Amino acid sequence: MEQKLHGKVALITGAAQGMGKDIARLLARQGAKIVMNDLNGEALQAAAEDIRRDGGEVIWVKADVSKREEVASMIDQATEAYSTIDILVNNAGLLRSTPFVDVEDEEWDLVMEVNLKSVYLSTKAVVPFMIAGGGGKIINMSSSAGRSVSTLGGAHYTTSKAAVLGLTRHLAKELASRNIRVNAVCPGLIDTEMVRKTCPPEQIAAYESSFPIQRLGTTREVADLVLFLASDDSSYITGASIDINGGDLMI
């Protein structure tokens, strides 16, 4: 079968585990050259080696994408290896569950920097390459929290993910004339390491029984949706926020 992303270059942030790892793996299997980013260098290297063993072409870059200078270095390394970037998946994220009355300024700023500022910095750095290359695809990972309120996270998490949706819509409108499509994915409860660490098994079971589709989503299901948005199959879609939550939130 023809690979949907043959010859494309895809940068995925927060790719050492969970959704980011499966997104990178699937995009590689569909022919993309992969740039994987994360703060966890050891896990990132192991994830990249898995892709290589599967026949994919990949480099990995340890960087804090909430820091401008580290994003610049990451983009330099990516474009030195592959010349351009055609697809950007802003997946890096941080979950904190602190009640609003207990949130300190430092924690608020940290969540905003990782969940929102990183999207701004990475997108701003990549867009010139997409313009020069005649177009591109940007997929921002928001959350059902961004469309309602968070199940597990605090007010800062909900706020950051809602802001990602606003940024997605504005960029979609502003960049459409440059043939750059910008969309957001809004996962509900997905079976990731972060969810399992945050939520005890009995609480997960209670959530599952409350969903119309009575289970957690899988990282592969999220990756399949990202692949659709990264490919030409979604060429007439921009500014969208697509839910993947088992029917938990119906808007």
> With 90 as the cut, is the pLDDT of residue 249 above it?
no
Provide Rg for the chain, Cα atoms.
Answer: 17
Residue 65: pLDDT band (50, 70, 90) is very high
Please count the other Cβ atoms lying within 10 Å of the Cβ belonging to residue 221.
Answer: 16
Mean pLDDT of the chain: 95
pLDDT tens string 94-104: 999 999 999 99
Entry pTM: 0.95
What's the pLDDT score for residue 151? 85
Residue 194: pLDDT band (50, 70, 90) is confident
Which residues, including other chains, have CB under 8 Å from residue 190's CB and lie 6 or more apart? 18, 19, 216, 217, 218, 219, 221, 222, 244
- Decide if 15 contacts 36 (C-beta within 8 A): yes
What's the pLDDT score for residue 197? 83
pLDDT tens string 111-147: 999 999 999 999 999 999 999 999 999 999 999 999 9
Q: What is the CATH number of domain 9-188+218-235?
A: 3.40.50.720
List the catalytic residue out of 120, 157, 207, 236: 157
Instruction: Label each residue of 1-21 as H, E or C.
Output: CCCCCCCCEEEECCCCCHHHH
Report the distance separating Cα 91 and Cα 79, nearest Å: 19
Provide the residue ranges of all domains of the chain, joining segments of one domain with +. 9-188+218-235
What's the pLDDT score for residue 1? 66
Report the distance separating Cα 200 and Cα 214, nearest Å: 17
pLDDT tens string 9-33: 999 999 999 999 999 999 999 999 9
157 is catalytic: yes
